[in-house]
Structures are given as C-alpha cells and as structure tokens.
Amino acid sequence: MKKITKIETIKEMPKRLRVAAYARVSSGKDAMLNSLASQVNHYKNYIKSKPEWEFVGVYTDEAVTGTKELRDEFQLMLSDCKAGKIDMIITKSISRFARNTMTLLKTVRDLKAINVNIFFEEQNIHTLSGEGEMILTFLATFAQEESRSISENMKWRIKKDFEKGLIWGSTSMFGYKLENKKYHIVPEEAEIVRFIYSLYLEGYGDRMIRTILDEKGIKPYRTKTWGVTTITKILANYNYTGDLILQKTFIDNHLTKKLKHNKGELDKYIVSNSHEPIISKEIFMEAQAIRKSKALKFAKSSSYNNEFKGYIRCGKCGKTHTYRRGPYNIYWICSTFRDKGKSYCDNQQVPDDKIKEAAIHLLNMNKFSMPIFKHLVQQVVAQPNNILRFELNDGSVKEYEWAHKPRSEGWTDDMKEQARQHTLKRYGGGSAKWQK
C-alpha cells in the first residue's frame, strides 16, 4: 500500500532591509540633535530598534553651508548604494540632503533606478512611492530658493560693511590680529614682515627668503616651515601700507561657492589710513617694481614648451620635477628641493638635454622625438648619482647614467660674451684681471 508523505513548503524568511542614515552637520544649528555624536547615536538606535531593518551605518559630512556638493561621506554612501550594500537611506530633511534641485533629483533618480529608497523624515516622503518625486521637485525648488535668498542677504550685509570701511569675516593677515573688525599690529610678526621686504629689496628671491627664514628658526604662525606662496602673498599685499582694499575677491554663485578675483565685476573700496602700517608705501612700490621686472624677464624666457612636465619624478622623495631655466640651459629640479630647500631633499637637478640624450640612447631614436617618448615612456625617475630610470608603458625598465659636461662646452660666441659681461658687471670691471 502506497504511503504519501507531504513535505511542507519552506517559507521564505523575510529579508531584512539594509538601512543607512545620512546626516550633515551645519554649525550645530539642529535643535533636536545638536552634535554629530548625538545624530549618529539617534540614527543608530532608531534603525536597530526595527527588527525588520539591518543597520549599515551613518554617513556624516560637516559643512558651514548646505550648497556645496563635494561631500566625501555623501559620495561614499552613493558608492555603497551602487555596490548593493544599502536598500534604504534615512535623512532628516531635503535641505540636509541637498538644496540644489538638479543634484537632488539626479541622486533620487539614480538610486531609484537601483531600487534604493530615500526617506526624508521632516517631509515624510519615500522616494520609491508614486508621488515621491513630484513632491520632492516642489520642495527642493523652495529649498534652493531659500539658499539663494540667504546668499543675497549676506552679500547685502557685506556690501554695507565695506561701504563703512569695515572688514568682513575673520580675514587673517600675518603681522596683524583682527579685533572688532580692525587690524592691530603684532610687533614680533611685524618685524618678520619688514625683514622679508628688506631681503627682497636686497635682491633675494621668494624661495631664498623662505630658506633664510627657516634657517634662522623664524616660524610662521600656522605651520612649521614657510611656504613660497606665503612669502609671495606677503610681498604683494598692499594692506601692509596701512591702507585697506576691500572686496578684492567675491563669490558669484551661491551654489558652487567658488571664490573669484574681482577684476572690475564689483566695486572695490580703498580705506586710507585704516590701520597702523608695517611698511611704507615707498617700500611696497619698490618691491612691486622689482616683481614686475622679474615677471617681464620670465615672460621673455618662457618660450620653452615644458614638454617633460609630469614625466620626471624624484628618486629620493617621490615628488615631481619642475623645470627651471638657467642662463645657458634648462634644468629639471625636484619640487621639494625648490619649495623647501636642500635639507628636505638634496637630489640634484637634471639638465634637459641629458633627458633627451638618455631617451635617444634607451629608446633607439635617431634624434629625439616627443611623440615617440610619450608613446613609450610612463615616467622617468631621477635617481641619485646621475641615474635616469625610464619606466616604460610595456612594464620594462631601463637605466641610463649621464655625465656632467663643462659649462663652457658647446658655448656660442654670443654666450661667451654674455658670460664675460656678466662677470665684469658682477666685479665692477675695475680690475684688469677681469677684463682680459
């Protein structure tokens, strides 16, 4: 007799929804959750309290404004969604997620396409619901307009302060401290500014001044060592004369927040005798005349097309080499050595013609060809002891040892005469020894 045994259907266990939260901290203005830690704890506890949910994590970004789009944690969260790690995102409101309508809708649609839901708590909107996107479009437009309105109000307040000759914000300037929207001299820093100008007027360049300051143990107020850019900015800052130029820069887009130099688009305001000067106007103008003269010389000598840019790398510190034009040749020099000095990287400079010489030898060229070089070479590592290491696109490596040649070798008559005149000028031309 047959015996039939029924095997019951195995009921599929309900799949737990993988849920993450996104929080953007904006200057502690949240009334309910006034700190990053409390927001994280709130969402962590809330998600874990739902048995049908699986806690993935809380992604957080800090921002002063809600209009910038470059948010690292936000981008990481989107990547995790695309990788299939998240089914739903919880966030407080549209303004916390994005105030740019276009960005918001694109993100919503991209996540909707991979079946990831976003839940906005304040608006009680689920993006996977039928009416979700339509409601979001209206609400996000209002949020973006609010951001624009706040930006316009801020511009109006800044303009009114400028018209009164007042400094806006917490603009710092080495040599001064800002109190009640007015600059006050910091004596020890002011002495350093004067020292920088005196060195520049004596003929020292920005990089050499940086080296002198570091060697003397003179420290800037924010970093351990001086940057060339800092020296350059000090030497170009008219405000050290006691006058103040306001609205030299401005932000023209409330969404991108990109800072632009004011080249006549907006009014500028010059406030005479705004604060105590550190240097005289005469010294400042003399420094600018030197800078202009150097810029003209550089412009005349910059016809070289910088063809090896990005290809030469230092074998000691790993930084890229940049080109420097000498009196008689072009050299590639480590950017660390250039910006910080020999104590940070003492790798030697490489003559431009030696790189070409090595390329001809290693790549079997009849004469140097940049298109062939770019086709075959991934990078050139400038090793110590005159070794150039060519790392090729096919994965192979070749090395070439180059040798210094006497500077006068290959000089033209014009170059020799130029060198002679330079020597006469340097030593005054008074000695018969230097006139032979």
CB contact at 8 A, 66 and 72: no
- Asked if 23 and 74 sit in the same domain, the reply is yes
- Asked if 139 and 199 sit in the same domain, the reply is no
User: Position 308: which residue type?
Assistant: F
pTM: 0.43
pLDDT band at 4 (very low <50, low <70, confident <90, very high): confident
User: How large is the average pLDDT for residues 124-128?
Assistant: 86
CB contact at 8 A, 313 and 382: yes
pLDDT of residue 37: 78
Q: Give how many domains the chain has, as a whole number.
A: 3
- Asked if 141 and 38 sit in the same domain, the reply is yes
Instruction: Find the angle CA(137)-CA(139)-CA(140) to the nearest 5 degrees.
Output: 65
- Asked if 42 and 67 sit in the same domain, the reply is yes
pLDDT, tens only, 250-301: 566 545 556 666 666 666 667 778 889 999 999 999 999 998 887 776 555 5
Helices (H), 129-252: 132-163, 187-201, 206-215, 228-235
Residue 110 resides in a domain: yes
- Asked if 137 and 204 sit in the same domain, the reply is no
pLDDT of residue 191: 94
Q: Please, which residues have CB within 8 angstroms of residue 146's CB and are 6 or more apart in sequence?
A: 95, 99
Residue 435 resides in a domain: no
- Asked if 295 and 316 sit in the same domain, the reply is no
What separation in angstroms does the CA of 363 have from each of 1, 257, 373, 391?
Answer: 89, 48, 8, 11
Residue 359 has pLDDT above 60, yes or no: yes
Enclosing domain of residue 265: 176-301
pLDDT of residue 275: 85
State the Cα–Cα distance between residues 270 and 288, nearest whole angstrom.
18
State the Cα–Cα distance between residues 107 and 101, nearest whole angstrom.
10
Residue 167 resides in a domain: no
Per-chain mean pLDDT for the chain = 79
Residue 129 resides in a domain: yes
CATH of the domain at 121: 3.40.50.1390
Q: Please, which residues have CB within 8 angstroms of residue 391's CB and are 6 or more apart in sequence?
A: 377, 378, 379, 380, 381, 397
The share of the chain scoring above pLDDT 70, in percent, equals 69
pLDDT band at 65 (very low <50, low <70, confident <90, very high): very low
Tell me how far the alpha carbon of residue 335 is from its chain's centroid.
16
Secondary structure E strands in 38-181: 53-62, 88-91, 117-120, 125-126, 176-179
pLDDT, tens only, 367-401: 999 889 988 999 999 998 899 999 998 888 999 99
State the Cα–Cα distance between residues 255 and 150, nearest whole angstrom.
11
User: Which of these, 287, 290, 163, 295, lies nearest to 234 by C-alpha position?
Assistant: 287
What separation in angstroms does the CA of 158 have from each of 50, 131, 153, 166?
Answer: 48, 41, 9, 9
Residue 205 resides in a domain: yes
pLDDT band at 94 (very low <50, low <70, confident <90, very high): confident
pLDDT of residue 429: 45
| φ/ψ of residue 331, rounded to 5 | -125, 150
Range 271-280 burial, b when 16+ CB lie within 10 A, else e: beebbebbbe
CATH of the domain at 269: 3.90.1750.20
CB contact at 8 A, 341 and 210: yes
Helices (H), 216-348: 228-235, 281-301, 335-340
pLDDT band at 186 (very low <50, low <70, confident <90, very high): very high
Residue 416 has pLDDT above 90, yes or no: no
